[in-house]
Structure 1
């Protein structure tokens, strides 16, 4: 202990370094003001909140160029008469709503609309039903069998559409098809060079099998991914209450995966309703245009027959009908978000 010239007592050892006025170990007083970091000179600082908009600007610009501009041009084209003559002279004639009135008064157009709605409904029911069952199967299988089935689903999903159409046309070929051979082997008569594409209904049935075959893997794999998020204690509680398989599904699985079913159904309706390649590549909308859906109908009317203004009106009406049909699902999604 030492006593300095001011009479203050210090407990520091004599050889300790001394500061000014005996404040060797006293920390400097805190300042009431904070130091503000200044940007380096010559560098501009972006205004607050501008950076996120700059980051999404390329995506927005791409959407405008690739989606919005063609859609606007298509709507404008639907109000014009653009046939082969106008396409060559590049002098379209404004005709207002004549294309729409012609379509709405055409019974063939409404036949295609009914056919498209039925085709979409049948596909979505098959895809969602079988996809859900396969997803449940994936959740119950062992590791090795689950891997084999998952790889098979991925291969079916990744197969190009034109290649899959080629395979299905060979399967249902009139002369060398596997299906005719299988039906004859099973003892059915009348399948010697049977034409499976003889009617529009049989053609759309084959297309339905093709579309479902390519879309079920998406639903099944997503269903399995959703099932992994459900806790095992919920299944155990259901078993203790004596619930069977279907009761467990409706009381445990479906309520927990309701958002999955809504979003997946929403996506499948859009994908199936606008399916073009499968229908056109299978039989070009035939026979006698009996298997045409709205996208195929628009293509045959436009590039096929040269009525581009009328085809644009078909595509606009297709978009309007799809939005009207999906508004129901939008309301369900919003209602579910409010309940949460």
Structure 2
């Protein structure tokens, strides 16, 4: 009897196999089922790699060439290796534009997140009718095409017929009657910043409002019982609960602002005196404007690398904060 029990236990502990010692058919089906999602994603991944990867590879090849008007006319390819990169990395103009781009991005993202958060919290506290009215206004601002919005802002800040100068003059600032907003570096950046922030607030506000609807009301009730006011409720309940939203949205806004091209170029084409050029504008003017196509490709590749470095640094901070919280 004991021998029978021992053999039965061995039979239960032994791995189940199919005919001839092969693994059971169910295991193969399970592995195949786990691979189905990857097969379904493969076509989309291939198309994405083709549409995004090929232009980057083509741009990388151009950055290794001396490609100007003469080479285009003669249809010759002059490879110069890393000479374009060495010239740009050794150029004070390039690093000046890099610093300007980083500061421009930081200021815009800070304003976008601050104002977008305030508008999102306002949406959460308004009644249905006022929330609908504000939401319609945000949607209209968000849906307006970039060039159309830029044209409107050009009219608003026009030196002779602009509404902004007219209102400021009417309020007593008579020196602003004919002020040229795109005549200096700071004033031009001010107009561009107002435009970009105005276009970006709806995205942050709607996402924040949607996220606040997922916060349990019991948390606010408990905070109120503890005597927490509005600011304390935000710092102890709202912000910790929505921290992943803030991190993800900031990440997206950094990318969007850093690569902003039409707003900066359409306002004043990087002027006056190329003092408002950011990296995308710098690459376009060097490549298309001056017809140094290889150099323009080099600047665009360096722009991608700088953006990746900024994102890596930002993600490192985020991951470190999450580890500290654990």
Same fold (TM over 0.5): yes
> Who wins on radius of gyration, i.e. which is larger?
1
Unaligned runs of 5+ in 1: 1-46
1:182-231 CA-to-partner distances (Å, cap 9, x unmatched) read 11100112223221110122111100000000000000000001111111
1:180 deviates by 1.0
- Distance in structure 1 (CA, Å) of the matches to 2:44 and 2:246: 29
- Distance in structure 2 (CA, Å) of the matches to 1:317 and 1:200: 24
1:335 deviates by 4.8
Mapped pair 1:312 → 2:297: yes
1:58 deviates by 2.3
Distance 1:250 1:306, change over 3 A: same
| 2:29 aligned residue | none
Instruction: State the TM-score, normalized to the length of structure 2.
Output: 0.87
Q: What is the SS of the residue equivalent to 2:176? A: coil
Unaligned runs of 5+ in 2: 1-31
1:134-179 CA-to-partner distances (Å, cap 9, x unmatched) read 1111111001111111111111001000100110000001111001
Of 116-125 and 322-331, more deviation after overlay is shown by 322-331
1:89 deviates by 2.4
- Distance in structure 2 (CA, Å) of the matches to 1:204 and 1:92: 39
| 1:282 aligned residue | 267
Asked if 1 retains the 8 angstrom alpha-carbon contact of 2:147 and 2:266, the reply is yes
Mapped pair 1:145 → 2:130: yes
- Distance in structure 2 (CA, Å) of the matches to 1:249 and 1:90: 63
Asked if 2 retains the 8 angstrom alpha-carbon contact of 1:77 and 1:312, the reply is yes
Mapped pair 1:73 → 2:52: no
Which of the numbers 122, 128, 132 marks the counterpart of 2:107?
A: 122
1:246 deviates by 1.6
Asked if 1 retains the 8 angstrom alpha-carbon contact of 2:168 and 2:177, the reply is no
Aligned ranges 1:62-101 → 2 under 5 Å: 62-101=47-86
Aligned ranges 1:139-288 → 2 under 5 Å: 139-288=124-273
Q: What is the SS of the residue equivalent to 1:81? A: coil
Q: What is the SS of the residue equivalent to 1:289? A: coil
Aligned residues: 295
1:227-264 CA-to-partner distances (Å, cap 9, x unmatched) read 11111111111111111222111111111111000000
Q: What is the SS of the residue equivalent to 1:253? A: helix
1:52 deviates by 3.0
Q: What is the SS of the residue equivalent to 2:174? A: coil
Considering fraction of residues, name the structure with more helix.
2
Aligned ranges 1:22-37 → 2 under 5 Å: none
Asked if 2 retains the 8 angstrom alpha-carbon contact of 1:262 and 1:329, the reply is no
